[in-house]
Structure 1
Amino acid sequence: MNKKEVNVTLKWVLKNLNPWMILCLFIFGVTSSFEGVLNGYILGYIPRLNVKDGNSLIAFYIAAVLSYLTVYVSLFLFSLLMQKAIQTLNEKIKGIYFRANFASSFNNPNLDSSEVLNNMTSISKQIEEKYFEPLLLLFQSLMTVISSTVVVLMTNPVLGLIYLALSFMSLLPSYMGKEKMKIKTDMWSHSNSNFLAITRDLFAGRFEITNFGVKKLFMQKFDHSLHDEEQRYYQLNAFQYVLQFISWLFAILITLTPIFIGLWMAKNNILGVTVSTILTLTLTADHVVGGFRQLTNFETQIQSTEGIRKISWTETKTDQKIAQPVADNKLVVENLSVKRGDREIFKNLSLSLNENDKMIITGPSGVGKSTLLNAIAGYIPIEMGDVKFGGHKLKYSDFVFISQNIWLFAGTIRENLSLLQNFTDEELVASLKKVGLYKELGSKALDFEIKEQGSNLSGGQAQRLAVARGLLRHKKIFLLDEITSSLDHQNADEVHRLIYQLPSIVIEVAHNFNKKIAQENNVKIFNLAQNTK
């Protein structure tokens, strides 16, 4: 077992992006940040123009057009590059998440593919929207704050500081109400979770609720939970409106007070303040505060993803090579013990099978037959014991594991048999002939198109194709879990006659089996219940 972890941080982002892309993002991020400055600078310059000088007006127009063009082209290129960067990072994070679940699934055989897919899509989307995008936009906002601050202070340091000081007062309402907003948000979130849980429980128990005549009582419980959730939601929104109203009151003072101070300074000819200065500062200072608001918002989003940006998993080393002959083709299970929680499934269980031996593990339902097979394969953790083949610890390359649900994917027989590895057509055809599939699938059996989940193959054909996969790779051990439970007797007997003739060790878990065919092929019967008392 090998413990691995990926922590998606700024360092990880920079490592996975092309250096040229990072450089271009930096350049266009800086130049596009002047969007907030341009309006204030250009409109503030208008009162100083000599409207009677045509050349000055033309020069001003050309300079303004070029400035806006530079900023918006930069903004366009920054946006394109940002999306390309997000594409690259999304590919990386989805790849890591899938590989992590793929590796961890060996310790969780019940892991559902739809669950993995939904989680991968959901988590990667959250990381994209609340980490990658805010991280890239945070830099641009920081540049906007810096460039706007520089322009404000260069225009008039004293009046500029007054504008900035008063503008930052607009942050006070949200800052002062931050803790209370968090409390109200948590209260609504808790209430909403309770409401959803109650809704799920009531719907799941709808038949029992109806049968026992308690529908009215449970509907009252539902209505009470619904009212509580909606009331909490109203209180949350009402508090937001209160903060917004206070912000509007602040806005009156913040907008008009610096203008009044500026006009008074201009009237008294203090520090060279003019109407042009007031226009520039009024239009520019707001971008400083707006930039800070964005920075705070981006920081909050980034922090909210801290938990999901740490992806850890345990990877089991696998040997993908075709099994090679060993000196002693003997499978030995020694003192195998398995627990699930506090429940002991079996203890000190031992088995020994020589080359080409066949064994059926049987016993009542729930005794642990499939658990034993999964423990031998190494698919579930064991409490103690060893499983050895040919003197070494059993590896994935030694065996093929076949259950009643055969994994088949949309593609040709060639692809499903070779599993995208390099085998000659002669090798593939030979393995199909050994399981009697070659003639059944027509003259071009390797090109036969399998539909999704093998819906156009019979159960017996799917089982034999799985056996052919093992034969193709010269597997010396076949572990079979209830592979004929969903087949009719004729197909089940056909599959059993095939597997009992395999030049390999076969261990089959079976609840029902044809005793006559088993006796004819000298198959050992291992009753798990009898051997674990």
Structure 2
Amino acid sequence: MNSERTVSNIKKYNEKKILFKSFFENNRLNLLSGVILVILSAVLETCLAVILQSILDAASDSDIQGLKRLFFISLVFLFSITLVELLVRNIKYSFVRRAILQYKNTIFCKLMEKNIATFYIEDTSSYVSSLTVDITSIENNYLIGIFDRISLCVKLVTSVCLMVFYNWFLFIMVVVLLAIPSVVSSLMSNGLAEMEEKVSYKNEEFMGKIRDILMGFTVIKNFKSEKEVSEKFDCEDQMLEHSKYQRRKKEADIGIVSGTLGVSVQILIFLIGAYMSIQGYISVGVVLAFVQLLNTSLNPIQQLPGMFGNRKAALALVDKMNHYLEKNTAKDKTDSILVEPLKDKVELTHLNYCYEEGKAILKNINFQFEAGKSYAVVGLSGSGKTTLLNVLLGMLNDYSGSVTYDGVDFKRIARDNLYENIAMMQQNVIIFDSTIRENITMFKKFPDENYEKAVELSGLSELIQRKGNDYVCGENGKNLSGGEKQRIAIARCLLKHYSVLLLDEATSSLDKKNTKLVMDTILGLKNITRIAVLHQMDPSILKQFDEIIVLVNGEITEKNTYESLMEEKGYFYSLQNVDVL
């Protein structure tokens, strides 16, 4: 048990390391160049105090020649600092751009490695939030923060060195007085990471609510639930904005307290320096330089605690993303057995499945789906039809009994290989906001003859003649009819040469005419095993299936051809009086 836990922890560490590594892969030159330039920029900014001190002392001594020399030095200084700042800006944002692109690409690639069974039980709003809102925090508080923190640390160190050089006694006074805002800022920054993480989680919940509302827009309007849904939306929005308010308030409080203490320290140091200047211990220029250096060192002391708190919060978001990517992957382990297109049969033996212990959805299912044949699965709602298809697609693996594909246990088949051979068409066909061709090919390259054959067999030839392959389907396929979307789904299956096609009430959103046209197309396909859950008891469609399976409370009670089942006058016969199941 301990060894398994150790292996799991090592794997999680490696996964986390991959995400962090993505920020810097092929990006180290930008990082190194940026760091060097940021250090140079910080040193130059600190040296402004030296120039101001020299100018004031030259003025006090009426040194005209010295002022002329300092004028030209100042011009060179201004040109140098402007040039360095331009270089810092370009290199810093080039680093951040590449880092974010690689980070998002790594996340997306890891996400695409998940199989259907794993992704099926997850909340997509978590990924949406992590790839949008969280990215902004990581970009500002971690990546850009790398350069900002280095700059502030260098300014603090160079300021301290110069203050010691000018006057060690006044420096000691600065250290004593600066300890107060430093400690206060550090103590007040505690809890920022937790607040940032809370905001992130609230964003996820809010995005999930928006997604539900937009997907259910038609239902909301039909039920005239606009007021109630608006209240729910407002409630979620209030909670999100409250968590953001608390975080902003915390950051503002730190800034106000640190700023007030910083100004107090500046005034005290200025008074002490003025007294020392009157007594002749230091020049007026040194007093000005000390105040300038104090101001330069105050910024790091005020900002660094909060910045390190924000850095911790940003890293927590990376950890959270890693948790989502790692989540549930252990639930769907399979061997790496590869199978060919179905030649013999898919066999179910004593198959049982429960979503909850003691509540069986499928009970002792025994059946053989022979290659190339067509099967209809019928039954009232809740009889286990969709669960059966989910088992056949490999989305549900925690069943008892066995499911085999040409004699190979489903649980041992590599998932990517399984999805090469089995496809599912559902009621809501996913259509991307792209061209008809790209929706059929799913953005992959296929020979023209294969594509044209899939178009012809799926009944899309007329649509493409009217609108063309490059016709943009619109978001969720809004520019296409329901039947056209279903035919695109059929064309996808034909193009990929799936040997088993599962249909989960794929035509439930179509009228009877289009349902008949689509089902005639599917049932006319050759060399494909078709297993369809039907919601309409249309005899003209049911007669075309090789066999009909009747499910009642998760059990197969009848199975035969349409004609034989009608002659038996059993449960299936009684279903003929139900238009829609």
- TM-score, L = length of structure 2: 0.73
Task: Write the letter of the residue equivalent to 1:495.
Answer: V
Q: Which residue is equivalent to 1:280?
A: 289
* Map of 2:348 onto structure 1: 333
Match of 2:578 in 1: none
Counterpart of 2:543 in 1: which secondary structure?
helix
Which residue of 404, 417, 420 corresponds with 1:388? 404
> Structure 2: which amino acid aligns with 1:370?
T
Q: 1:475 aligns with which of 498, 512, 519?
A: 498
Residue of 73, 88, 91 corresponding to 1:63: 73
Separation in 1, partners of 2:182, 2:155: 17
- In 1, the alpha carbon distance for the partners of 2:469 and 2:257 equals 72
What's the secondary structure of 1:480's corresponding residue? strand
The alpha-carbon distance between structure 1 residues 266 and 93, as it changes in their structure 2 partners (threshold 3 A), is same
AA of the residue aligned to 1:338: Y
Shift of 1:251: 4.3
Normalised by the size of structure 1, how large is the TM-score? 0.78
2:147 corresponds to: 136
Cα offset for 1:447? Answer: 4.5
Q: Deviations over 1:35-90 (max 9, x none)?
A: 54233212211243277654432221111221232223222322232222221122
* 8 Å contact from structure 1 (residues 130, 301) kept in 2: yes
C-alpha deviations, 1:89-128, integer Å up to 9, x for none? 2212322333444445722437676774344211212222
Instruction: Confirm or deny that 1:411 pairs with 2:421.
Output: no
Distance 1:52 1:265 in 2: 21
Residue matched to 1:354: 370
What residue is the counterpart of 1:120 in the other structure?
Answer: 131
- In structure 1, give the amino acid aligned to 2:530: V
**1:33 paired residue among 32, 36, 42:** 42
Counterpart of 1:411, as a letter, is S
- Label 1:81 to 1:251 Cα distance change in 2 as closer, same or farther (>3 A): same
Q: Label 1:348 to 1:63 Cα distance change in 2 as closer, same or farther (>3 A).
A: farther
Change (3 A) 1:44 1:405: same
Q: CA deviation at 1:377?
A: 0.3
Aligned to 1:86: 96
Alpha-carbon distance in structure 2 between the residues aligned to 1:155 and 1:53: 21
Alpha carbons of structure 1 residues 144 and 338: separation in structure 2 relative to 1, 3 Å:
farther
Report the 3-state secondary structure (helix = DSSP H, G, I; strand = E; otherwise coil) of the residue aligned with 2:464: coil
Please give the secondary structure, in 2, of the residue aligned with 1:380.
coil
Q: Identify the residue that residue 180 of structure 2 maps to in structure 1.
A: 169
Contact map agreement 2:375 2:547 (CA 8 A) in 1:
yes
Q: 1:305 aligns with which of 290, 299, 314?
A: 314
Partner of 1:97: 107
The residue aligned with 2:568 is: none
> Where is the helix percentage greater, Structure 1 or Structure 2?
2
CA contact (8 A) 1:163 1:281 kept: no
Partner of 1:289: 298
User: Could you say which residue in structure 2 is the equivalent of 1:203?
Assistant: none
Pair 1:16-2:25 in alignment = yes
Q: Does the alignment pair 1:372 with 2:388?
A: yes
Aligned to 1:361, what secondary structure does the other structure show?
strand
Q: Secondary structure of 2:352's match?
A: strand
How many angstroms apart in 2 are the aligned matches of 1:9 and 1:292? 33
Q: Match for 2:535 among 491, 494, 511?
A: 511
1:357 maps to a residue whose letter is K
Q: Which consecutive unaligned segments of at least 5 residues does structure 1 have?
A: 201-206, 208-214
Correspondent of 2:444 among 412, 421, 425: 421
User: What residue ranges of structure 2 are gaps of 5+ in the alignment?
Assistant: 1-7, 211-219, 221-227, 558-581
Q: What is the number of residues matched between the two proteins? A: 491
Indicate conservation of the 8 Å contact 2:341/2:421, yes or no: no
**Does 1:524 pair with 2:548?**
yes
CA distance in 2, matches of 1:294, 1:278: 24
In the alignment, the residues of structure 2 paired with residue 123 and residue 43 of structure 1 have an alpha-carbon distance, to the nearest angstrom, of 43
- d(CA) in 1 for partners of 2:518 and 2:251? 70
Q: Quick one: percent identity of the two aligned structures?
A: 22
Query: Distance between the aligned counterparts of 2:110 and 2:255, measured in 1?
Result: 44
SS in 2 for 1:382: coil
d(CA) in 1 for partners of 2:274, 2:467: 90
Separation (CA, whole Å) in 1 of partners of 2:81 and 2:273:
29
Deviation at 1:264, TM superposition (A): 4.4
Sort the Cα spacing of 1:417 and 1:274 in 2 relative to 1 into closer, same or farther, 3 A: same
Give, in whole Å, the separation in 2 of the partners of 1:167 and 1:86.
33
Q: Deviations over 1:150-193 (max 9, x none)?
A: 111112223222223223333355456667x98xx99x99xx99
RMSD over equivalenced CA pairs, Å? 4.2
Whether contact under 8 Å (2:185, 2:306) holds in the other structure is no
Inter-CA distance 376–141: structure 2 relative to 1 (3 Å threshold):
same
Q: Is the 8 A contact 2:523 2:544 kept in 1?
A: no
Cα deviation, 1:246-297, whole Å, max 9, x if unaligned, reads 9747844x33443444444445555xx2222222112112322321222111
Question: Which whole-Å CA distance do the structure 2 matches of 1:243 and 1:74 have between them?
Answer: 28
- What is the identity, as a one-letter code, of the residue corresponding to 1:143? V
1:164·1:285 contact (CA, 8 Å) conserved in 2? no
Question: Cα 1:347–1:130, aligned 2, differ >3 Å: closer, same or farther?
Answer: farther
Q: Aligned letter for 2:134?
A: I
Change (3 A) 1:476 1:174: closer
